[in-house]
């Protein structure tokens, strides 16, 4: 294990301390959709590429790519979209001969901690970019060590106390790393010829990181690290050539990712040792092979979103894989008819707010609650809270526990709830 530079260590420890003292909850966004601003500046070509959504559903981070038409120099700046306003994240100090470059890729629940990469102040003939975190708007590079350079922060836990990512070791070998409470740790790969690994996402408490590593056959294989120890997920069917774990829920018990087979790709979902291939969506227009793109899961692992053959999808156990547009319309959200939803990039902790890459515009969509049989309290799920509400109203007339609308809470309502329990 190695420790970060003083500034980054203090920042990480401070985040954890504040989070343990007081968890500030923010009301979830109202149902509807908001278009992400795409900047328009004279004499430049600009585009905002969103990457991640905060757990509370209010903040989007990514990068703004712009090219000055006069000198043709392309620049990438880390950007943050917050409730309708697009701003740039502060640039860390860098040497004059290194071109400006930064992008934000990961964010914690309230947006106070952001991870990504930025130009290094002094590359010394090594990589030009290094792993960077922004803590309450201030940028901090992750310290490099002899023969090892952290180059990318790809995941941040909900309170911002743990980050994971990718480092370069030696000439060109990739290694996974974690930074937990200011302590830097290289994560061992599976046994393999190349021995490369990358960590992509991390659980709420920082104990479980997920990503991929080369295996004994030299193929990329989905893995997780539990307290630093690497474990294969065992999600390689006979027809697969590679697998990648992309995201995990808050306690590390649910993992989602992609399985590759030649030029085709499918999504998988892993839960407590058992995995399944998620059904895809029928393509629009001629498509030669099925191709799964991003996939993310929410805090409890009950929702997965992503893209399949250029169609954004929304998955639940009860509903299966469905077009996000269909789910939005059924929950009362009218998506612009001319906007094709290509890829769902991220989802909020409650599973209701989704960051979507669309053709011509990018959206943040917040779903309303569908009318689910058995959902007594209207929170979009049938669980113990609904059962407790029904039992407390049992025998009463015209109350919240009257699920079938016959004017009384009785065994018929209880049977209806039990039929849909877990939906």
How confident is the model over 323-357, as pLDDT tens digits?
999 999 888 898 887 788 999 999 999 999 999 99
Q: Given this model, what pLDDT does residue 184 score?
A: 92
The residue out of 232, 255, 270 marking a domain boundary is 232
- 42 and 191 share one domain: yes
Question: Would residue 353 count as lying in a domain?
Answer: no
The residue out of 174, 209, 232 marking a domain boundary is 232
How many domains, the chain?
Answer: 2
- CB neighbour burial string for 133-167, b if at least 16 within 10 angstroms, e if fewer: bbbeeebbbbbbeeebbbbbbbbbbbbbbbbbbbb
Q: Give backbone dihedrals phi and psi of 154, rounded to 5 degrees, phi first.
A: -110, -15
User: How confident is the model over 173-196, as pLDDT tens digits?
Assistant: 899 999 998 899 999 999 765 678
Give yes or no for a contact between 80 and 111, defined as CB atoms under 8 angstroms apart: yes
Question: Would residue 304 count as lying in a domain?
Answer: no
Q: Given this model, what pLDDT does residue 71 score?
A: 60
Question: Would residue 258 count as lying in a domain?
Answer: no
Nearest-angstrom CA–CA distance, 158 and 302 = 17
The angle subtended at Cα 154 by Cα 150 and Cα 157, nearest 5°, is 115
Nearest-angstrom CA–CA distance, 322 and 338 = 19
In the structure encoding, which two tokens stand for residue 17, read together?
């301390």
Q: Given this model, what pLDDT does residue 5 score?
A: 43
Q: Given this model, what pLDDT does residue 24 score?
A: 58
Nearest-angstrom CA–CA distance, 11 and 108 = 14
Question: Would residue 218 count as lying in a domain?
Answer: yes
Q: Return mean pLDDT, the chain.
A: 85
Nearest-angstrom CA–CA distance, 245 and 212 = 6
Q: Give backbone dihedrals phi and psi of 155, rounded to 5 degrees, phi first.
A: -150, 145
Q: Given this model, what pLDDT does residue 9 score?
A: 46
User: How confident is the model over 57-74, as pLDDT tens digits?
Assistant: 999 999 988 776 566 667
Q: Provide the whole-model pTM.
A: 0.83
Nearest-angstrom CA–CA distance, 76 and 99 = 9
Pick from 165-169, 350-354, 395-399, 406-410: least confident: 395-399
Nearest-angstrom CA–CA distance, 205 and 180 = 9
Rg of the Cα atoms in the chain: 23
Question: Would residue 302 count as lying in a domain?
Answer: no
Question: Would residue 410 count as lying in a domain?
Answer: yes
Q: Higher-confidence residue: 151 or 262?
A: 151
CA 180 to chain centre: 19
Question: Would residue 296 count as lying in a domain?
Answer: no
Q: Higher-confidence residue: 44 or 268?
A: 268
- Say if residue 286's pLDDT is above 70: no
Give yes or no for a contact between 266 and 277, defined as CB atoms under 8 angstroms apart: yes
CA 91 to chain centre: 24
What residues contact 411, with CB distance under 8 A and at least 6 apart? none
Domain limits for position 99: 2-232
Can you tell me the mean pLDDT for 273-290?
82
Long-range contact pairs involving 170-174 (C-beta distance under 8 Å, separation at least 24): 174/198
Q: Higher-confidence residue: 52 or 82?
A: 52
User: How confident is the model over 198-210, as pLDDT tens digits?
Assistant: 999 999 999 999 9
Question: Would residue 303 count as lying in a domain?
Answer: no
Q: Given this model, what pLDDT does residue 7 score?
A: 43
CA 204 to chain centre: 13
CATH number of residue 83's parent domain: 2.120.10
Q: Given this model, what pLDDT does residue 38 score?
A: 63
User: How confident is the model over 98-139, as pLDDT tens digits?
Assistant: 777 899 999 999 999 999 999 988 777 778 889 999 998 899
The residue out of 205, 232, 259 marking a domain boundary is 232
- Say if residue 35's pLDDT is above 80: yes
Nearest-angstrom CA–CA distance, 356 and 377 = 29
Strands (E), 41-82: 44-53, 59-68, 74-82
Taking CA atoms, 164 is separated from 38, 116, 236, 264, in Å, by: 29, 10, 24, 28
CATH number of residue 391's parent domain: 1.10.1330.10
Nearest-angstrom CA–CA distance, 275 and 292 = 16
């Amino acid at each position: 294990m190695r420790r970060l530079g003083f500034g980054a260590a203090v920042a990480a420890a401070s985040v954890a301390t504040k989070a343990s003292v007081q968890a500030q909850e923010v009301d979830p966004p109202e149902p509807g959709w908001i278009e992400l601003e795409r900047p328009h500046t004279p004499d430049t070509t600009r585009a905002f590429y969103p990457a991640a959504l905060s757990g509370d559903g209010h903040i989007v981070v990514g990068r703004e790519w712009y090219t000055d038409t006069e000198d043709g120099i392309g620049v990438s700046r880390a950007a943050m979209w917050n409730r309708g306003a697009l701003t740039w994240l502060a640039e860390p100090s860098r040497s004059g001969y290194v071109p400006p470059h930064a992008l934000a890729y990961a964010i914690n629940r309230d947006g106070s901690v952001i991870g990504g990469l930025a130009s290094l102040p002094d590359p010394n003939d090594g990589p030009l970019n290094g792993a960077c975190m922004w803590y309450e708007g201030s940028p901090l590079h992750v310290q490099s060590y002899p023969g090892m350079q952290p180059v990318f922060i790809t995941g941040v836990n909900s309170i911002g106390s743990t980050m994971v990512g990718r480092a370069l070791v030696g000439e060109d070998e990739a290694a996974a790393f974690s930074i937990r409470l200011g302590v830097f740790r290289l994560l061992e790969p599976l046994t393999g010829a190349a021995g490369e690994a990358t960590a992509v996402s991390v659980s709420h408490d920082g104990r479980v990181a997920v990503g991929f590593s080369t295996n004994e056959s030299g193929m990329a294989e989905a893995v997780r690290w539990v307290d630093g120890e690497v474990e294969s997920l065992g999600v390689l069917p006979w027809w697969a050539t590679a697998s990648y774990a992309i995201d995990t829920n808050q306690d590390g018990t649910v993992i989602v990712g992609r399985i590759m087979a030649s030029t085709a790709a499918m999504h998988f979902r892993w839960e407590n040792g058992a995995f399944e291939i998620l059904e895809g969506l029928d393509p629009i227009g001629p498509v030669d092979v099925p191709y799964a793109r991003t996939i993310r899961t929410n805090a409890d692992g009950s929702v997965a979103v992503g893209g399949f053959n250029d169609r954004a999808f929304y998955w639940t156990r009860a509903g299966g894989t469905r077009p996000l547009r269909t789910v939005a319309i059924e929950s009362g959200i009218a998506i612009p008819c001319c906007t094709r939803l290509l890829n769902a990039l991220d989802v909020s902790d409650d599973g209701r707010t989704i960051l979507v890459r669309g053709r011509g515009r990018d959206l943040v969509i917040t779903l309303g609650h569908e009318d689910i049989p058995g959902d007594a309290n209207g929170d979009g799920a049938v669980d113990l809270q609904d059962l407790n509400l029904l039992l407390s109203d049992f025998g009463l007339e015209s109350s919240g526990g009257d699920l079938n609308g016959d004017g009384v809470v009785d065994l018929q309502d209880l049977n209806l709830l039990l039929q849909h329990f877990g939906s």
